[in-house]
Amino acid sequence: MAVTLEQAQRVGYTCLKALLRFAFMVANNLVAIPSYVLYLIVLQPLRILDSKSFWYIEGVLFKWLLAMVASWGWWAGYTVVEWGDDVKAVSEDEAMVLVNHQATGDVCTLMMCLQDKGTVVRQMMWLMDHIFKYTNFGIVSLIHGDFFIRQGKAHRDQQLVLLKDHLEKYYRSRSRKWIVLFPEGGFLRKRRETSQAFAKKNNLPFLKHVTLPRLGATQVILKTLVAPQENGTPPGGDAVRKESKSKGLQWVIDTTIAYPKAEPIDIQTWILGYRQPTVTHVHYRIFPVKDVPAEPEALTNWLYQRFIEKEDLLTHFYETGAFPPPQGQTKAISREMTLSNLWLVAIQSFAFLSGGMWYCLFQYLYHCLF
């Protein structure tokens, strides 16, 4: 079949755009990540004198780095529409965020979603597969205090002990608020068949759009971070949050990511931007942590129920293009998530100016010393 001139031009434009975007991303990483590291090296005396102020500054820089990642998708037309509970209402409280996992773009989507959720984006902790430690962003996550978990039965018990130690050492000492994890333990396409076989063997529901979650990390987080007596109140109305700051984990935010036609965005697409503009849909449901059972069997059933509900949400979305309304309501309300282009340009400009400053400084020191 002959290729028309218009088709050739379209392919050429897409390839050129992808090449330019990739070059910009590389340049962005080369200036932003080293600058983040160097700023924090220079600020080490402040860490000793005033640890709270040091981690405040680190958090601001961390948020800006996440905003840069968000900008790659935003400028490619990969936007987000949010549904369900308004998580801004609990953004100043401690919360555990449970997310379904389909592709590497899920993390980028969350980085975008959380930019307008107050200060929480700079005070959050991520649980991610250990392989991300060796990516370009790994050094940032290591400094920030994220936890890299190694998958597999051979490592499971040891990893849960390490997670508990990590939370006790870093979570509150660095004023963390939200902790984000993917309980499925891997991408949907990799785990679906195994999960379905396990479900059939144990007389559990057959799931297509999510997999059965794993209990370990969720249980450790709840045991470690929940205060002995919880005083969280359900979101909504004037009782969204108490005036006095609560101690301990207060909420579980069940987050469901849906892509049109069940075609997830991966990190390559996010960077190169070769897919047409796409709207990703994110649904939130907030649970007071006092309503989450502590016993392993009850907690397992509770967690399974959350993912069965995700299956229903996604089935409805793929059939209708929208999430169903909350129970007792006739219409679901969606909110378009927006970012300021001016703000994104300002952050990118700061990164490149910082890179230039550090380069000039090292050049000056080199000439002075040699």
pLDDT tens digits, residue range 24-48? 999 999 999 999 999 999 999 999 9
Share of the chain above pLDDT 90, in %: 75
pLDDT given for residue 229 in this prediction: 55
56 lies in some domain? no
Helix pair 51-74, 341-369: axis angle to 10 deg:
120
40 lies in some domain? no
64 lies in some domain? no
pLDDT given for residue 236 in this prediction: 44
Per-residue pLDDT at 244 exceeds 70: no
19 lies in some domain? no
What's the CA gap between 259 and 278, in Å, rounded?
8
Per-residue pLDDT at 9 exceeds 70: yes
232 lies in some domain? no
Per-residue pLDDT at 21 exceeds 60: yes
Buried b / exposed e over 62-92, threshold 16 CB at 10 Å, is bbbbbbbbbbbbbebebbbbbbbbbbebbbb
Which CATH number does the domain housing residue 325 bear?
Answer: 3.40.1130
Identify the domain containing residue 86 by its residue range. 78-227+247-341
Per-residue pLDDT at 235 exceeds 50: no
By C-alpha distance, which of 157, 151, 113 is closest to 132?
A: 151
100 lies in some domain? yes
pLDDT, tens digit, for every residue of 198-213?
999 999 999 999 999 9
50 lies in some domain? no
Per-residue pLDDT at 186 exceeds 90: no
pTM, entire model: 0.89
328 lies in some domain? yes
pLDDT mean over 87-113: 93
pLDDT given for residue 240 in this prediction: 42
User: Which two three-digit tokens encode residue 247?
Assistant: 């101690």
pLDDT, tens digit, for every residue of 249-292?
999 999 999 999 999 999 999 999 989 999 999 999 999 999 99
The tally of domains found in the chain comes to 1
Q: Which amino acid is at 262?
A: A
